[in-house]
Amino acid sequence: MKSIVSEKGQVTIPKRLRDRLGIRAGTVLEFEEADGRLIGRKAPLRDALDELFGSISLDVDTDTYVEELRGPGPNR
């Protein structure tokens, strides 16, 4: 199957391939180059916690922060 690259760099994925691969509007694709070939893959779905990872900045280490939230542990 062939597709032509538009002036904006856009390519239409043929409907038969979109249907077979479950690619719909809003599907995120990842591209890479390998040996002169363009490889496109559906990006893995991300977990909501993955989206939050690294978004909280603490001025203290994790143990100190948890102790502040919960109070001192039984061994302290």
In a domain, 50, yes or no: yes
Q: What's the alpha-carbon Rg for the chain, to the nearest Å?
A: 23
pLDDT in tens, 15-46: 999 999 999 999 999 999 999 999 999 988 77
In a domain, 63, yes or no: yes
In a domain, 48, yes or no: yes
In a domain, 51, yes or no: yes
Full residue range of the structural domain in which residue 33 is found = 15-70
In a domain, 8, yes or no: no
pLDDT band at residue 7 using 50, 70 and 90 as cut-offs: very high
- Domain total of the chain: 1
